[in-house]
Amino acid sequence: NGVQELPTLANCASEPIHIPGSIQPHGAMLVLNLAQELIGWSANSEEMLNLQLCLGAHINTLKLDEEIYLSLQDFLGDLEEAGSAPVAVETAINQKIFDVVIHTYLDRVIIEFETREQTSDEVASFALKAHRGIDRLKRQKSINTLLQMAVEEVQKLTGFDRVMAYIFRHDDSGDVVAEKHSPGLHSYLGRRYPASDIPAQARRLYTLNTLRLIADIGYTPVSLVGKTDEAPLDMSYCVLRSVSPIHIEYLRNMGIGASMSVSIIINGRLWGMLACHHMSPRQIPYSIRMACDVLAQIIAATVSNIQEHERTEATRFATSVRTALMETLIDEDDITHAIGLHAQGLKNVLGADALIVAQNKKMEVFGDIPQSLAENILENLPTDNEDLVLWQARNQWPENLQEPIKKWVGLLALRFDPSSNGWLIALRVEQIETINWGGDPEKDMKPGPLGARLTPNGSFEEWKQVVRDTSIPWDSIQLDSARELLNALLRSSNRRHAEIDRART
Ligand code: BLA
């Protein structure tokens, strides 16, 4: 088994977080092989569960609640059908209520006992609340209102001090786009975090197992004990899995007592998360967590519908702008002027912060680009056969322009008339210019041993480092619309040249 090296900031994406060899102490765990013999348990099991355990013992020889045996036999009986979906039952040991969660993974049967303070009646009334929440979510027509409603629902269900909707961007960095928090707490709304705050192996795990709870950030992990010749237990699907010490330090630096997050998965990809904080320790009963998980699935399905609708709308809008421009061009000889009449629509279609239109010696600029820079850009565009040029980072520009462009690091240029040097150019500013970072939530924060990197401001600095000198990339809808626009403009130019030629002969 060996002692695992402590992860550092530099290697944390390779920390094997699925095999920590320990659990969180608000529960206990028994591990069986498929013959239902004990091969390991958490070191607190005997005391917490009032059992005497020995390696190799068959589960039936332990004095567990009848209910647990029945569920276990049922579960193992229809493994084929049920796949890896866990079963949960309630049990009482030493007058304490436990949720018992049973699942199998990689030939292991894992039985987790999670302490719970609420009675079944309390929990059931929560489930009803969740049901009402679902109905309201499904009716939302925009992603923003959907997520705002979702954080409010989850806050009501769980009582967390803060619930955020965190959504991932094209490069896996993320934004807090909706938030509900208790009075007196500062807001994280609008903040942006780099991809590395949730490293790749964690994202992978979170697409498999969609919910995790850290009930008490200050916990002392409880080791697993058992057969030493066994491979380390894969805890990917465990509810009590002990979490990465790096992440614990991060949460501690933020002053948090408990954390829960729920994955929102769209088309197999981690699209976002509902991230919850509590300022003191907080344990949410299993069935309420499952209700949150269902909410996240409803959110995913609703988002997916809204996105489909938005894509259709974006394409429709692009078509309408293109058609209007083509109509103008029927009786307007000056293309730069015609494009100017539709500049705002074209800016929207191309997602541009500024536009340059030029043909022959004429040039027009829409946006705050200095005239001299616009001329400089035009002179340096490639003269080969490419009609569409895409530069999305400073180092893709010709060397002599890399400095003069300053913040204008993104370029999508359409050559609509090669013979007259006709170009329509969309420009984007550097990503850093596009974000308005709110106030400082960590004035009185004392960072832990790994330093200021593991704080919200440290994260933002990291994000800036990663994206320096790049623009937000053009997405596939914008690129498709750009190509269609280019083709329409090329056809229009060709027609014009043909008319001129005809007039000459
Ligand atoms: C996990 N990082 C996470 C999780 C979240 C975040 C939500 C999931 C675990 C949980 O539910 O608490 C990130 N949490 C955030 C962010 C906000 C938030 C961005 O509340 C914004 C408000 N983390 C780092 C760095 C490393 C790192 C630099 O910041 C490594 C170099 C690691 N984060 C890290 C690891 C995990 C993690 C390893 C997995 C924890 C686990 O499941 O074991």
From ligand 1's centre to the CA of 42, what distance in Å?
A: 25
The ipTM estimated for the assembled molecules is: 0.98
Nearest CA to ligand 1 atom 39: 202
Q: How many CA atoms lie within 13 A of 404 on its CB side?
A: 15
Q: Which domains does the chain have, with CATH numbers?
A: 12-307 (3.30.450.40), 308-504 (3.30.450.270)
Supply the pLDDT for residue 231: 87
Q: How many CA atoms lie within 13 A of 122 on its CB side?
A: 10
Q: Is 411 exposed, middle or buried (0-12, 13-18, 19+ CB in 10 A)?
A: buried
From ligand 1's centre to the CA of 127, what distance in Å?
A: 28
Instruction: For residue 215, give both structure tokens.
Output: 């009930």
SS (H, E, C) 98-153: EEEEEEEECCEEEEEEEEECCCHHHHHHHHHHHHHHHHHHHCCCCHHHHHHHHHHH
Is the model more confident about 467 or about 441? 467
For residue 391, pLDDT beyond 70:
yes
Is the model more confident about 83 or about 216? 216
Supply the pLDDT for residue 120: 80
CA distances from 407 to 248, 372, 431, 467 (A): 37, 15, 9, 13
Is the model more confident about 447 or about 237? 237
Supply the pLDDT for residue 118: 82
Q: Binning pLDDT at 50, 70 and 90, where does residue 1 land? A: very low
Closest atom of ligand 1 to 260 CA is 11
Q: Are 41 and 225 in contact (CB under 8 A)?
A: yes
Supply the pLDDT for residue 114: 97
From ligand 1's centre to the CA of 248, what distance in Å?
A: 8
For residue 19, pLDDT beyond 80:
yes
Q: Binning pLDDT at 50, 70 and 90, where does residue 380 land? A: very high
Nearest CA to ligand 1 atom 3: 198
Is there an atom of ligand 1 within 6 Å of 212 CB? yes
From ligand 1's centre to the CA of 414, what distance in Å?
A: 42
Helix (H) or strand (E) holding 359: strand 354-359
Is there an atom of ligand 1 within 6 Å of 219 CB? no
For residue 443, pLDDT beyond 70:
no
Mean pLDDT of 171-190: 94
Q: Binning pLDDT at 50, 70 and 90, where does residue 2 land? A: very low
From ligand 1's centre to the CA of 399, what distance in Å?
A: 39
Is there an atom of ligand 1 within 6 Å of 202 CB? yes
Q: Are 471 and 392 in contact (CB under 8 A)?
A: yes
Q: Binning pLDDT at 50, 70 and 90, where does residue 438 land? A: low
Least reliable range by pLDDT among 77-81, 416-420, 476-480 = 77-81
| Mean confidence (pLDDT) of the chain | 93
Find the distance separating the first CA and the last CA of the chain, reported in whole Å.
Answer: 88
Whole-number percent of the chain with pLDDT over 90: 78
357: how many CB neighbours lie within 10 A of its CB? 24
Q: How far is CA 378 from the centre of its chain?
A: 38
From ligand 1's centre to the CA of 253, what distance in Å?
A: 12
Instruction: Output b/e per residue, 22-39; b: 16+ Cβ within 10 A.
Output: bbbbbbbbbbbeeeeebb
Supply the pLDDT for residue 372: 96
From ligand 1's centre to the CA of 19, what distance in Å?
A: 17
What is the per-residue pLDDT across 454-469, written as a single tens digit (0 to 9) for each? 988 899 999 999 999 9
343-350 vs 476-504: helix crossing angle, rounded to 10 = 140
Is there an atom of ligand 1 within 6 Å of 467 CB? no
Nearest CA to ligand 1 atom 42: 243
Closest atom of ligand 1 to 454 CA is 29
Instruction: For residue 191, give both structure tokens.
Output: 């903040």
Pocket test for ligand 1, best of 12, 22, 198 (most atoms within 8 A of CB): 198
What is the per-residue pLDDT across 59-77, written as a single tens digit (0 to 9) for each? 999 989 999 999 999 888 8
For residue 333, pLDDT beyond 90:
no
Closest atom of ligand 1 to 20 CA is 43
From ligand 1's centre to the CA of 215, what distance in Å?
A: 15
Is there an atom of ligand 1 within 6 Å of 23 CB? no
Nearest CA to ligand 1 atom 15: 197
For residue 52, pLDDT beyond 90:
yes
Q: Binning pLDDT at 50, 70 and 90, where does residue 82 land? A: low
From ligand 1's centre to the CA of 396, what distance in Å?
A: 33
| Cα–Cα distance measured from residue 18 to residue 33, given in angstroms and rounded to the nearest whole number | 19
Instruction: Output b/e per residue, 179-215; b: 16+ Cβ within 10 A.
Output: bbbeeeeeebeebbbbbbbbbebbbebbeebbbbbbb
Is there an atom of ligand 1 within 6 Å of 116 CB? no
Sheet holding 174-181, edge to edge: 192-193, 174-181, 162-168, 269-278, 258-266, 211-214
Is there an atom of ligand 1 within 6 Å of 247 CB? yes
Supply the pLDDT for residue 273: 98
Q: Binning pLDDT at 50, 70 and 90, where does residue 79 land? A: confident
Pocket test for ligand 1, best of 180, 192, 197 (most atoms within 8 A of CB): 197
109: how many CB neighbours lie within 10 A of its CB? 22
Q: Are 38 and 30 in contact (CB under 8 A)?
A: yes
From ligand 1's centre to the CA of 202, what distance in Å?
A: 8
For residue 441, pLDDT beyond 70:
no
Nearest CA to ligand 1 atom 4: 198
Is there an atom of ligand 1 within 6 Å of 454 CB? yes
Closest atom of ligand 1 to 8 CA is 31
For residue 177, pLDDT beyond 70:
yes
From ligand 1's centre to the CA of 261, what distance in Å?
A: 10
Is there an atom of ligand 1 within 6 Å of 197 CB? yes
> Angle CA(97)–CA(101)–CA(106) in degrees, nearest 5?
155
| Cα–Cα distance measured from residue 113 to residue 336, given in angstroms and rounded to the nearest whole number | 71
| Cα–Cα distance measured from residue 95 to residue 275, given in angstroms and rounded to the nearest whole number | 33
Nearest CA to ligand 1 atom 41: 243
From ligand 1's centre to the CA of 246, what distance in Å?
A: 8
Pairing of strands 422-428, 410-417: antiparallel
